[in-house]
């Protein structure tokens, strides 16, 4: 050791190592992950299939990838918004399994955070992101009419939170307050920092009203279908908790409990908060609103159509539309800003503070006359620099979460009913072709309100323009497949029933169902897709090869079937011949 | 052996046991999830099938007993975990598959009938005529409900799972057999971490 202290070349070597470390650290920081802004913009515009395709194409299989869970959350949200809960099943189930695994990061150390993706802290999301994901799992299960699984997921969202109490100003402690206290305690004892964060709080019952609402709803649905009185008790208990947290929910829960509503709408609106860096060395993070908090009411109106092919304006029945109760059940700006809903992963703040302390301490000792102290000091400076250069916090977050979640209860009694959702001073979306639920059950619809002005082009007519497998609505042009042009607007999968409808109008008279299927196959359309490959199917109308229709009542359904698409350009000789033969027959008939 | 030697050896054994227990505990990585695993499903069906086989309901039946046409229902999941359709039906099918059908029909006069929930799927999958299953007149139904009780703290969680099976006579509404299997699972770590 003494030889090292008195050896100048050794000192130079050590300094070189420290410099290389610092440069490496700088490069590592420069290569840090950045938020995928275009993805978020696409999502806001309602381009859910493109979002899903993009994520599915890069979905990491390596669990040490920090995006492993995050991309699965993003994909789940995109598929739900697109009205494809069945396609989301494997991804959703996997996210549930991960979320139900506790203490994934308990064994990890601050060193793991410093070393980045090579020795990662698994990204599980902030607690509010996790609770929201449990909520979406509950929504997906309810959309598939698996209310018991919806109950399981909703209950899982009601996990205990950690409450660090109030600050000296009498307000809720901020993350910065908590970090400052932890640093203060660690001055004389290194372990005190972690001890404070791990033990300095009170485990507290959640204030996630949306979770209580969904849990109540799932129990009520189970009660209605199975008659179990225990489920009704549990529904009432959960609704009471939700109403206590957000009194505006009471009219919605009352309508459900007194059986005056049979359909629930879960409506996501606006862009959720964004995680940004701040503080010393950008080592702390906080969530900043992308859309200000407001309590703009949502109006839900029900229109009973006179004819399914009518536009919304024409289809309003003589009776005035009925309004239904609604309320904001989750305000994500508020959740994200409350320390109870944060996991303090930006204890990179700790790392940054440790770096600062080491740098400071290192500078003092390096200036001493003692060469041993100099080496130690230089080492501390190096470690401090390394730490500081990698201190900028990771701002990875689920940017596809909404600003707020509305819930609304309605009574739908007629088939092919149209429901409009209007946010005061904001967008309006018409959901056509909604049917009443089967007797003794509750229907749930999940709607993502697109933000862009494009919604005005396709979101408001309430008119289905293409016949599809998700609704029984009659559409002008449903007597001919879309792939044969000539005004054909049917994108239903080939079946005897569908073929008979074509033939009743004098079309495809010499076709069998097999001929029709072969025509689709010749066009490269996948009629029997492998369910495992259905993660992000692109519909024929979107230029893809799938006829899988989004479910009615979803934004994806409206986006796909309520707007005009360019005429189909056939690729196969079979389709071209069929079109020509049809044209020839049409000319002969004239 | 002297009393002192006996005391010494006893103490030694106890000490070794304590040390072993310490190391074994230390080496065991704590479970991170209380969710039921594949082996748990297998334990449930093995135990429940054994319980049914040994039950008065089954052992009391002879070739002269009135015929039972037993169907089943998709199990209800009242746990805090997801259960896929496949898992649910596995937990029913493995019970019925554990019996020799011919023996059951001949010696116990029990025959199994396709569950109503699966009838439509069968028709669609195999292309059966719509009339299939109209003769289906079950006399009894096998049902199952899965529940759990959770105790959750800051750093750990315990779940007690209960698998409850029953056979009910449809005409009388009488429950003619019940079977139950309990499982405890614990996990360490913060739920959100």
- Hey, of A69, A94, A103, A342, which one would you mutate to test binding to chain B, going by the most B CBs within 10 A of its CB? A103
Q: What contacts 24+ positions apart, CB below 8 Å, involve B89-97?
A: B90/B41, B90/B45, B91/B41, B91/B44, B91/B45, B91/B144, B91/B146, B91/B163, B92/B142, B92/B144, B94/B42, B94/B45, B94/B49, B95/B45, B95/B48, B95/B49, B95/B52, B95/B142, B95/B165, B96/B70, B96/B72, B96/B142
Which of the four pLDDT bands, split at 50, 70 and 90, describes residue B87? very high
Query: How is residue A275 annotated by DSSP?
Result: E
CB contacts < 8 A, A to B, total 75
Closest CA–CA distance from residue A376 to any residue of chain B (Å): 35
Tell me the C-alpha to C-alpha distance, in Å, between residue A83 and each of A268, A438, A450, A590, B38. 13, 20, 14, 43, 31
In the predicted structure, residue A297 carries a pLDDT above the cut 70 = yes
Tell me the C-alpha to C-alpha distance, in Å, between residue A294 and each of A207, A424, A451. 19, 11, 16
Q: Report B:136-175 residues touching A (Cβ under 8 A).
A: 152-155, 157
In the predicted structure, residue B20 carries a pLDDT above the cut 50 = no
Q: Exposed, middle or buried, A585 (CB in 10 Å: 0-12/13-18/19+)?
A: middle
Mean of all residue pLDDT scores within chain B: 82
- How many helical (H) and strand (E) elements, i.e. helices and strands, does chain B have? 6, 6
In the predicted structure, residue A587 carries a pLDDT above the cut 70 = no
Closest CA–CA distance from residue A570 to any residue of chain B (Å): 31
Tell me what pLDDT residue A366 has. Answer: 40
Tell me what pLDDT residue A23 has. Answer: 43
Tell me what pLDDT residue A173 has. Answer: 84
pLDDT tens-place string over residues A254-292: 999 999 999 999 999 999 999 998 777 777 788 999 998
Tell me what pLDDT residue B113 has. Answer: 87
In the predicted structure, residue A398 carries a pLDDT above the cut 60 = yes
Tell me what pLDDT residue A413 has. Answer: 92
Look at A216 and A176; give whichever has higher pLDDT: A216
Pairing of strands B76-78, B140-152: parallel
Handedness of CA A354, A357, A360, A361 (dihedral sign): negative
In the predicted structure, residue A205 carries a pLDDT above the cut 80 = yes
CB-side neighbour CA atoms (13 Å) of A338: 17
Asked if A541 and A562 count as a contact pair (C-beta separation under 8 A), the reply is no
Give the separation between CA B185 and CA B91, rounded to whole angstroms: 19
Give the separation between CA A476 and CA A465, rounded to whole angstroms: 8
Give the residue numbers in A contacting B (CB under 8 Å), as ranges.
93, 96-97, 100-106, 124, 127, 130, 137, 141, 148-149, 151-153, 155-156, 159-160, 162, 203, 222, 226, 343
Residue A35: both structure tokens together: 């938020």
Give the separation between CA B184 and CA B188, rounded to whole angstroms: 14
- Hey, of B73, B148, B191, which one would you mutate to test binding to chain A, going by the most A CBs within 10 A of its CB? B191
pLDDT tens-place string over residues A412-425: 999 989 999 998 88
User: Among the listed ranges A82-96, A140-154, B104-118, B176-190, which one has the minimum average pLDDT value?
Assistant: B104-118
Could you please report the per-residue DSSP string of A131-152?
HHHHHHHHHHHHHTT-HHHHHH
Tell me what pLDDT residue A6 has. Answer: 42
Chain A residue numbers with beta carbons less than 8 Å from the beta carbon of B34 are 100
In the predicted structure, residue A356 carries a pLDDT above the cut 80 = no
The candidate with the shortest Cα–Cα distance to A322, out of A210, A454, A445, A412, is A412
Percent of chain A exceeding pLDDT 70 equals 76
In the predicted structure, residue B35 carries a pLDDT above the cut 80 = yes
In the predicted structure, residue A37 carries a pLDDT above the cut 90 = no
Percent of chain B exceeding pLDDT 90 equals 46
The total of other beta-carbon atoms located within 10 Å of residue A188's CB is 7
Return all residues near A272 (Cβ < 8 A) that are at least 6 apart. Answer: A290, A332, A333, A336, A398, A399, A400, A401, A402, A403
Give the separation between CA A527 and CA A547, rounded to whole angstroms: 7
Tell me the C-alpha to C-alpha distance, in Å, between residue A476 and each of A258, A278, A560, A589. 40, 57, 16, 21
Tell me what pLDDT residue B9 has. Answer: 54
Tell me what pLDDT residue A206 has. Answer: 94
pLDDT tens-place string over residues A489-511: 999 999 999 999 999 999 999 89
Return all residues near A551 (Cβ < 8 A) that are at least 6 apart. Answer: A83, A84, A85, A143, A470, A557
Asked if the Cβ–Cβ distance from B191 to A141 is below 8 Å, we say no
> Mean pLDDT, to the nearest integer, of A563-579?
85
Give the separation between CA A427 and CA A311, rounded to whole angstroms: 18
Chain A residue numbers with beta carbons less than 8 Å from the beta carbon of B83 are 148-149, 152
Tell me what pLDDT residue A522 has. Answer: 92
In the predicted structure, residue A534 carries a pLDDT above the cut 70 = no
pLDDT tens-place string over residues A310-325: 444 444 444 555 668 8
Asked if A256 and A236 count as a contact pair (C-beta separation under 8 A), the reply is no
- Hey, of A89, A94, A102, A493, which one would you mutate to test binding to chain B, going by the most B CBs within 10 A of its CB? A102
Asked if A275 and A395 count as a contact pair (C-beta separation under 8 A), the reply is yes
Tell me what pLDDT residue A183 has. Answer: 74
């Amino acid at each position: 050791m003494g030889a090292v202290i008195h050896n100048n070349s050794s000192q130079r070597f050590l300094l070189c190592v420290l410099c290389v470390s610092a440069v490496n650290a700088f490069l590592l920081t420069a290569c840090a992950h950045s938020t995928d802004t275009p993805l978020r913009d696409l999502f806001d515009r309602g381009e859910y299939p493109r979002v899903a395709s993009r994520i599915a194409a890069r979905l990491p299989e390596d669990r040490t990838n920090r995006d492993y869970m995050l991309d699965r959350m993003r994909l789940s949200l995109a598929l739900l918004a697109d009205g494809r809960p069945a396609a989301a099943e494997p991804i959703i189930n996997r996210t549930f399994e991960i979320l139900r695994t506790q203490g994934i990061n308990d064994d990890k150390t601050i060193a793991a955070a410093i070393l980045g993706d090579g020795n990662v802290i698994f990204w599980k999301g902030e607690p509010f992101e996790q609770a929201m994901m449990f909520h979406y799992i509950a929504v997906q299960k309810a959309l598939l009419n698996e209310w018991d699984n919806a109950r399981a997921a909703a209950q899982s969202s009601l996990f205990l939170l950690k409450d660090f109490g109030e600050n000296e100003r009498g307000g809720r402690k901020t993350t910065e307050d908590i970090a400052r206290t932890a640093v203060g305690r660690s001055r004389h004892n290194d372990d005190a920092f972690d001890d404070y964060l791990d033990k300095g709080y009170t485990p507290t019952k959640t204030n996630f009203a949306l979770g209580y609402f969904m849990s109540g709803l799932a129990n009520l649905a189970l009660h209605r279908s199975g008659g179990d009185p225990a489920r009704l008790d549990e529904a009432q208990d959960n609704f009471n908790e939700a109403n206590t947290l957000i009194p505006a929910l009471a009219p919605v829960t009352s309508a459900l409990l007194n059986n005056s509503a049979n359909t629930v709408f879960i409506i996501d609106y606006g862009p959720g908060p964004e995680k940004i860096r701040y503080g010393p060395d950008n080592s702390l993070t906080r969530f900043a609103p992308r859309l200000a908090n407001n309590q703009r009411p949502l109006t839900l109106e029900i229109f009973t159509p006179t004819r399914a092919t009518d536009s919304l304006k024409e289809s309003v029945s003589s009776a005035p539309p009925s309004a239904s109760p609604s309320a904001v059940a989750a305000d994500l700006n508020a959740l994200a800003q409350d320390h109870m809903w944060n996991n303090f992963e930006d204890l990179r703040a700790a790392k940054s503070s440790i770096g600062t302390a080491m740098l400071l301490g290192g500078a003092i000792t390096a200036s001493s006359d003692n060469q041993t102290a100099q080496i130690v000091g230089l080492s501390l400076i190096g470690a401090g620099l390394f730490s500081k250069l990698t201190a900028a916090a990771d701002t990875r977050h689920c940017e596809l979460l909404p600003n707020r979640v509305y819930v609304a209860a309605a009574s739908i009694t007629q088939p092919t009913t149209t429901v409009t959702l209007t946010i005061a001073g904001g967008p309006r979306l018409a959901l056509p072709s909604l049917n009443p639920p089967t007797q003794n059950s509750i229907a749930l619809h999940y709607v993502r309100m697109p933000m862009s002005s494009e919604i005005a082009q396709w979101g408001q007519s309430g008119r289905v323009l293409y016949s599809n497998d998700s609704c029984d609505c009659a559409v002008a042009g449903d007597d001919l497949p879309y792939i044969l042009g000539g005004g054909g607007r049917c994108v239903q999968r080939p079946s005897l029933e569908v073929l008979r409808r074509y033939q009743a109008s004098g079309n495809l008279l010499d076709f069998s169902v097999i001929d029709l299927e072969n025509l689709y196959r010749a066009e490269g359309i996948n009629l029997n897709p492998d369910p495992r490959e259905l993660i992000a199917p692109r519909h024929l109308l979107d230029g893809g090869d799938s006829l899988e229709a989004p479910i009615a009542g979803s934004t994806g359904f409206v986006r796909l079937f309520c707007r005009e698409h360019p005429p189909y350009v056939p690729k196969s000789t079979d389709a071209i011949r069929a079109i020509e033969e049809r044209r020839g027959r049409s000319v002969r008939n004239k | 052996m002297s009393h002192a030697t006996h005391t010494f050896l006893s103490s030694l054994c106890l000490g070794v046991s304590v040390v072993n227990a310490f190391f074994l505990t230390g080496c065991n990585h704590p479970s991170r999830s209380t969710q039921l695993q594949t082996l748990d499903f297998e334990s449930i069906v093995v135990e429940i099938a054994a319980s049914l086989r040994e039950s008065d309901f089954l052992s009391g039946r002879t070739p002269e007993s009135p015929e039972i046409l037993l169907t089943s229902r998709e199990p209800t999941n009242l746990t805090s975990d997801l259960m896929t359709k496949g898992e649910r039906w596995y937990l029913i099918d493995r019970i019925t598959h554990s019996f020799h059908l011919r023996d059951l029909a001949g010696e116990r006069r029990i025959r199994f009938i396709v569950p109503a929930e699966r009838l439509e799927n069968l028709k669609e999958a195999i292309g059966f005529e719509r009339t299939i299953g109209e003769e289906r007149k079950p006399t009894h139904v096998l049902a199952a409900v899965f529940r759990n009780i959770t105790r959750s703290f800051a750093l750990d969680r315990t779940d007690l799972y209960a698998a409850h099976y029953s056979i009910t006579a449809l005409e009388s509404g009488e429950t003619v057999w019940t079977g139950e299997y309990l499982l405890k699972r614990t996990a360490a770590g913060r739920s959100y971490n």
